[in-house]
Each structure stands twice: as C-alpha cells, then as structure tokens.
C-alpha cells in the first residue's frame, strides 16, 4: 500500500512525487511515455531550445547598430533539432535521477483507475493501491473539426511541428494564442513567411488589449488577421471569413499549424467507473485539487484550471504537502504566465479589465520600455515594450503586473511573490531594484501609480 499513487509524470506528477517522497510518503509514479510530459518532451523545453537558436540567428543578422557585423550567418535546422533533442534528453534523465534519489517508485505503463484507491496497468495487469490517487494525465492538442484538416499531411499540431526536417517557406497558423504566437515568432525569425488567423478580435486574449497591441508590434513581419473564422482547408490553403463579410478569403502556406488550444487527456483513465466528475474541460476539483471522490485528486492540465507547467507543479506540490499533513495551498490569484518570443511578455494577477469587472477601484500605470536605461542600451529607441501595473486604490495592494520586455519571464516571479502575499504599492516601492536593469520598469511603474 502506497501513501500516494500518481498517474502521469509531467511537471504536475513528478513534482508531486518528488515532494511527497521528500516528506516521507511512500510514493509511486506511473508514466506510459517519457518522464517529463508535454513540458519536457513536446512543449516548454523543446520550443525554448529552438527559439533560443532563432533569436541568436536574428541577433547575429541584426546587430550592426551595436557594432557587430557577421557574415556567412546561417541557420542549420538539423543542428537546432539535435540541440533540442540533447536538451530534452538531459532533462528527462535529470528527472529520472531525481525520482530514484528520492525513492519514488517509477512504474512504466498506461494506468487506469480500477477503484478509487487502485490504479491498474493496462500492459502488465499489475495493480498499485494507494491511500491517495492523483490524476496528472496532462493534455493534448485540440483538433477542431475544420473541414479538410483531418488526414491532411500539410496540417500539423505543435507535436509534429517540433520534429520537422525542413523549414517551410511559408506557414499559416490557425489560432493566435500562446502556442500560435511563440511558433510564429520562431519561424518568422528564420525568414519563414508567417500568417496568423485568430477567431477573436485580438491575439493573446488573456492580456489587456493595450499590452497585446504592443506585443503584436514585436512580431515583425507576421501577417495577423483577427476576427477570422476558419471555414476550411484545402492542401495548404486555409479559407476564412472575416466578421460579417459574405466573401471568403484565403491564405496559403507550405504548412498549416493548428494551434487552437489543448484539451485534458482523460479518456481511458477509468474516471467514469470510479465516479470522478469530469467534462471535456477537465476533472472537477476544488481549490485544494480534491475531486468529489475521497482520496482522488487531480492536478495540472487534467483539471483544465490553468494549462501551464508551473501551475501544474504548484498544484502537485500543494497536494503532496496536504497529504503529508502540512498546510498548503495553490496561489490561484497569482499564477504567472510568460509568452516567449523576442522580447518576452509576462504577467501575473489581474488585468485592468479583470480588476474593473471584479469591482475594484483600479488605478493603473503604463510605461513604455524605452524609458528604461538597460532596455535602451540593448534594444534602442525603435524597439517595443511596455510595463503595466494595476492596483487597488482602497487597500493600496498590487492586483496585477504585466510586462513586454527582454527578460520578462525571468522577472515576473518577484511580482508573483508580491501579489500572492498581498503586498502594497508602498511595500514594493521601498524595495531596491538594481540599476541598470529592465526590472526597474516595475519600480518606475509603481511610482507612476496614482492611488
Ligand atoms: P490558447 O487557448 O492559448 O489559444 C488558442 C487560440 O486559438 C485562441 O485565441 C482561440 O480564439 C483561437 N482559435 C480557436 N479556434 C480557432 C479557429 N477555428 N480559427 C481561428 N482561431 C481559433 O491555446 P494554444 O495556444 O493552443 O495553447 C494551449 C495551451 O498551452 C494554453 O493553455 C497555453 O497556456 C499553454 N501553453 C503555454 C505556453 C507558455 O506558458 N509559454 C506555451 C505554449 C502553450
């Protein structure tokens, strides 16, 4: 009998396992594929390995103004893919090593709930019983039923595009969310002609519109069509209708990327038989990640609550600690996000629109990034970036922090800490930001808030 049996070894499951074992719980982790899940194998890590190469290539080509001229610059896709594979392999090995070191029993195979306390393995018929069972089965690319998409060799998802052997000369991206935008940034940096078709009025709809508008300007050369409902695909030609227009338009590419969201992977897990409530959006859990069935928990993308690796890890850590008898919670109001590109965008907490909708008397400040010394020194006057803060006039608390700038993803954790801990603008203004750093944008934006 285990204290905790975890189904799925992504950043939700392996973090839960590591934490549980470190706290002395007898822990089993079941994984049917490579450990590390989407994040390590098909998501965060491979895309960042590739994006780093594309940025380096672009900087080599575009750095004459700062005194660097390179000749013979080229991009070797095969080498980039090898770099990506090596990075992934190393990290997968690290996680396997960590599991071993902590004493987590790693079980290979496809798990299925055979009761609320037991997970059976399809391939071997073995069964693992636990006082607690955690569903951490992740998500997979959604494939909307667009006519002409299924079975079309030119239509790929993020899973397949990370393994291509030849760069397309043109790419149509359906969906202007995080995956669509990050891969558009990658391919367009390499000179691929990229078009994005987004159904909603704006790309990256989770950002305030003014921030999304700044980010859009950083996607130089990408043709973005918003309010575009895709009606069908024929080879690499994607037909769409814009707004109320009667006429269909069309845009063609050598390749079409479906980046229209992800959906929780829940089929074949035996959830129905055990009475765990779920919908296509995910397993229904409370804020502590408990399903309605005692002893059955769910974390990460499988819950559909926040489809981000670090959110999954935060949920996994909280569940392991709760099971070990510690006080733990997930900071739901302060789960940061990052859109990787050049530059990056990052945010945490409420947007201005969300704060107003929630009834706060919200004060905001918004500073262009070129007001910042380090930004100017590295990027110049023509570059785009912005820092926007949202605060509550009544309590003086910071409600949201959003930034488009280099290192955005590296800096946002500080604001996460502040918002999760209910810090006030005055608290944060008293902290000392090193100079010259892009992080000073936060300091200046704090000072610019009129409370
Ligand atoms: P998403 O939900 O972020 O965006 C999908 C977009 O596609 C939406 O804007 C939607 O309006 C649009 N769309 C849907 N159907 C469409 C259609 N038929 N025609 C045109 N547009 C259509 O999903 P995405 O980008 O696929 O990412 C999936 C998940 O993975 C997200 O939850 C995201 O947060 C996560 N992710 C996070 C990353 C990060 O943290 N940096 C990187 C990549 C993915």
pLDDT digits (tens, 9 = 90+) for 6-41: 999 999 999 999 999 999 999 999 999 999 999 999
CATH topology of domain 4-141+263-330: FAD/NAD(P)-binding domain (3.50.50)
Domain ranges, ordered by start, for the chain: 4-141+263-330, 155-260, 334-448
- pLDDT band with cut points at 50, 70 and 90 for residue 137: very high
Between CA 263 and CA 281 the distance in angstroms is 7
**CATH architecture of the region 334-448:** 2-Layer Sandwich (3.30)
CATH topology of domain 155-260: FAD/NAD(P)-binding domain (3.50.50)
Tell me the two tokens of residue 153.
Answer: 């060799």
Catalytic choice (52, 59, 310, 435): 435
What residue ranges in 243-393 does DSSP mark as E strands? 249-252, 255-258, 262-264, 278-279, 282-283, 296-298, 337-339, 344-349, 362-368, 386-392
pLDDT value, residue 275: 97
| Contact criterion met (CB below 8 Å) for 210 and 351 | no
Residue 244 has pLDDT above 90, yes or no: no
Residue 55 has pLDDT above 90, yes or no: yes
* Cβ atoms within 10 Å, residue 396: 15
Residue 220 has pLDDT above 90, yes or no: no
Q: Which residues pair with 291 in a beta bridge?
A: none
pLDDT tens column, 373-406: 999 999 999 999 999 999 999 999 999 999 999 9
For the full predicted model, state whether its pTM sits above 0.85.
yes
- Percent of the chain at pLDDT > 90 equals 98
pLDDT tens column, 313-329: 999 999 999 999 999 99
User: 4-141+263-330 with 334-448: one CATH topology?
Assistant: no
Q: To test the ligand 1 pocket, which listed residue (178, 185, 413) has its Cβ within 8 A of the most ligand atoms?
A: 178
pLDDT tens column, 250-286: 999 999 999 999 999 999 999 999 999 999 999 999 9
- pLDDT band with cut points at 50, 70 and 90 for residue 337: very high
pLDDT value, residue 243: 82
pLDDT tens column, 417-451: 999 999 999 999 999 999 999 999 999 999 999 99
**Nearest ligand 1 atom to alpha carbon 158:** 26
Q: How far is the CA of 415 from the centre of ligand 1 (A)?
A: 24
Q: How far is the CA of 436 from the centre of ligand 1 (A)?
A: 35
- pLDDT band with cut points at 50, 70 and 90 for residue 245: confident
pLDDT value, residue 246: 80
The region of weakest confidence among 236-245, 286-295, 323-332, 344-353 is: 236-245
Q: To test the ligand 1 pocket, which listed residue (139, 229, 261) has its Cβ within 8 A of the most ligand atoms?
A: 261
pLDDT tens column, 67-117: 999 999 999 999 999 999 999 999 999 999 999 999 999 999 999 999 999
> Which residues have any ligand 1 atom within 6 Å of their CB?
144, 174-180, 182, 197-200, 205, 230, 259-262, 307-308, 337-340
- Assess whether 435 carries a catalytic annotation: yes
Q: How far is CA 364 from CA 173, 385, 406, 450, 451, in A?
A: 33, 17, 22, 8, 9
pLDDT tens column, 179-219: 999 999 999 999 999 999 999 999 998 999 999 999 999 99
- pLDDT band with cut points at 50, 70 and 90 for residue 62: very high
DSSP 25: -
For residue 23, count CB atoms less than 10 angstroms from its CB and return exposed for 0-12, middle for 13-18, buried for 19 or more.
middle
């Amino acid at each position: 009998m285990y204290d905790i049996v975890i189904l799925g070894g992504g950043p939700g499951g392996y973090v839960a396992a590591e934490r549980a074992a470190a706290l002395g719980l007898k822990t089993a982790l079941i994984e049917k594929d490579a450990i590390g899940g989407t994040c390590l194998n098909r998501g965060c890590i491979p895309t960042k390995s590739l994006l780093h190469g594309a940025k380096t290539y672009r900087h080599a080509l575009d750095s004459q103004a700062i005194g660097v001229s390179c000749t013979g610059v080229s991009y070797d896709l095969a080498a980039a893919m090898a770099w990506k594979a090596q990075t992934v392999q190393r990290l997968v090995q690290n996680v396997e090593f960590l599991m071993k070191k902590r004493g987590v029993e790693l079980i290979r195979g496809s798990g299925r709930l055979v009761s609320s306390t037991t997970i059976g393995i399809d391939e071997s018929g073995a069964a693992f019983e636990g006082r607690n069972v955690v569903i951490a089965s992740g998500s997979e690319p959604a494939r909307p039923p667009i006519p002409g998409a299924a079975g079309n060799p030119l239509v790929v998802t993020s899973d397949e595009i990370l393994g291509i052997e030849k760069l397309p000369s043109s790419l149509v991206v359906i969906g202007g969310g995080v995956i669509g935008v990050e891969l558009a940034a990658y391919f367009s940096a390499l000179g691929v002609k990229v078009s994005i078709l987004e159904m909603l009025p704006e790309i990256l709809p989770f950002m305030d519109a003014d921030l999304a508008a700044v980010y859009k300007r950083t996607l130089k050369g990408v043709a973005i069509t918003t309010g575009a409902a895709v009606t069908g695909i024929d080879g690499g030609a994607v037909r769409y209708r814009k707004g109320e227009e009667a006429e269909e338009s069309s845009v063609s590419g050598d390749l079409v990327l479906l980046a229209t969201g992800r959906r929780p992977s829940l089929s074949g897990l035996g959830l129905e038989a055990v009475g765990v409530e779920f919908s296509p959006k995910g397993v229904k859990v409370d804020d502590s990640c408990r399903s309605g069935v005692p002893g059955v928990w769910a974390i990460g993308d499988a819950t559909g609550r926040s489809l981000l690796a670090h959110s999954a890890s935060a949920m996994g850590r909280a569940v392991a600690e709760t099971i070990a008898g510690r006080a733990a919670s997930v900071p739901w109001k302060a789960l940061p996000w990052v859109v990787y590109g050049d530059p990056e965008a990052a945010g945490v907490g409420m947007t201005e629109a969300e704060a107003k909708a929630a009834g706060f008397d919200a004060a905001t400040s918004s500073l262009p990034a070129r007001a910042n010394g380090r930004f100017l020194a590295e990027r110049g006057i023509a570059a785009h970036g912005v820092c926007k803060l949202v605060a509550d006039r009544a309590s003086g608390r910071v409600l949201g922090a959003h930034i488009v700038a280099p290192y955005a993803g590296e800096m946002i954790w500080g604001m996460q800490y502040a918002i999760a801990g209910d810090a006030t603008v005055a608290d944060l203004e008293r902290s000392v930001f090193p100079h010259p750093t892009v992080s000073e944008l936060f300091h200046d934006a704090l000072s610019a808030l009129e409370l």
